[in-house]
Amino acid sequence: MAASRVTSTIVMKLQHRLSFWWFSLLFTAAIATETPKVSPITRIAFGSCANQSAPQPIWDAINKFDPQLFIWLGDNIYGDIRKPNRVFGKERTIGPWRNSPRFVPSSEEEMKLRYARAKANPGYSRLQRKARIVGTWDDHDYGLNDAGKEFDRKVINQKLMLDFLDEPLDSPRRKQAGVYASYMFGPPNRRVKVIVLDTRYHRDPIRSDGSILGDAQWRWLEEELRGPRSEITIVGSSVQVISNLSATTGPLFYMESWGRFPKERKRFFQLIEDTKRNGVVFISGDVHFGEITRYDCAVGYPLYDVTSSGLVQSVEKVFPRPLRFIVRLLFWYTPSTMRVINENCKYRSCTYGQQNFGAISIDWNANPATIRLEVRDVNGLTALSTNVSLSELQPRGSKPLTDSTRKGKSQPYCTLEVELPGTTRYRLAVLIYFTIAVLAMALVGLIIGAVLTITACVYKCKLD
């Protein structure tokens, strides 16, 4: 009888364990079935400078590209107010004698209205429904042209910008000083990390050669670059990282860029090299034209910067259509040692001054995997492009590049614009000033000729 009870107990325990094992197996299978498979990112679009008050046909081309991810790079709206250009009068906004700022901030209510108008655009609404949207800001949606850390409305405007991006209410971005953030996409071995920087909230004055990111953001950035690895790391900056056209367009005009803060840019490159982060690609905006630049001598592999600007605002729109060739001619004449020049450029200058957006296509199935970097026009056609193998974007061991390897023939993109000889660096300014001088002399000559002709006619009439 006792033996029978023991046997019965053993059988019951076995049945219980089998039932538990079977239930666990079914539960695990159910979870595996319900867990969605993480798809790799293969199409990324990005852009900047989208004036909400102007037509925005470019969203049709972006939607046709069908990106899985769209990255705003700043000037997502134009939130500040630009006064008319006035050289003379009581309120002068341009010229060395100006006495009034050309740009002034909008009120909080006006900023909300402008964001609402941008968000309600039908093309952008379609994109919102099918793509993940992330991003940062630049000066005009920060609240004031060329502004930095001194701007006193940045806290309020940060909330408005994050509302525009539908940032969750409990997001860390709503609690920190600045809108910088990072994201990881894709399955193991096909991961894409996206880092968006804030180049406004903590930026020192433009001519100070101080800090762009501020101490807290620098610490955060180092943690991100030392963090979990990814095959590709896309770093979004509202201003250009590689190009420093201001070095060759000055003293005519200057543009904001990391090149205006050489210590900060050197620190950035050094951080990438020290962390041995592979696959870093920069994307940027701000300048109202498209460009692809490259620098080979910073981190042991080529660094690319794809500039897409703007979705609406573009440098050629400022000129009447018959005169737009002048803009392209000036682009071609402006020396740029960083610009990628190849057969895939729509114009000889390898810049694109009309409405455009940036596109990144990743072919994970290629051996090795490849990235196609593009600037596309309003019809979705390629204006600028280059193909990059992921195998090229790998650190070359722990040995740093020497000066001889940095400037070797196999690395043509190693001379910074500021290192150009003066005769080359300032040739645009010389050309413009010479042209103005010739035109001024011609005008003076015409005036003198007209005066002499009139004087002669008057004298002749008196004699008659």
Pick from 146, 136, 228: which is nearest to 188 by CA?
228
- 3-state SS, one letter per residue, for 363-409: ECCCCCCEEEEEEEECCCCEEEEEEEEHHHCCCCCCCCCCHHHHCCC
Q: What is the pLDDT of residues 62-91, one digit of tens each?
A: 999 999 999 999 999 999 999 888 888 788
pLDDT at 397: 56
Could you tell me the CATH superfamily of domain 43-421? Alkaline phosphatase D (PhoD) (3.60.21.70)
pLDDT score of 407 more than 50: no
Per the CB < 8 A criterion, the answer to whether 126 and 70 are in contact is: no
Is the model more confident about 345 or about 398?
345
Spatial distance between the Cα atoms of 147 and 401, rounded to a whole number of angstroms: 36
pLDDT score of 18 more than 90: no
Q: Band of the pLDDT at 401, cuts 50, 70, 90?
A: very low
Write the single-letter amino acid at 259: G
Pick from 308, 295, 410: which is nearest to 357 by CA?
308
Range scoring the smallest mean pLDDT among 54-68, 228-242, 397-411, 435-449: 397-411
pLDDT score of 403 more than 60: no
Range scoring the smallest mean pLDDT among 204-213, 284-293, 355-364, 394-403: 394-403
pLDDT score of 307 more than 70: yes
Q: What is the pLDDT of residues 438-464, one digit of tens each?
A: 999 999 999 999 998 888 888 778 776
Per the CB < 8 A criterion, the answer to whether 53 and 110 are in contact is: no
Q: What is the pLDDT of residues 33-63, one digit of tens each?
A: 444 578 999 999 999 999 999 999 999 999 9
pLDDT score of 105 more than 80: yes
pLDDT at 26: 40
Per the CB < 8 A criterion, the answer to whether 390 and 369 are in contact is: yes
Phi-psi region of 62 (alpha: psi -120 to 50; beta: other; left: phi over 0): alpha
Spatial distance between the Cα atoms of 21 and 367, rounded to a whole number of angstroms: 43
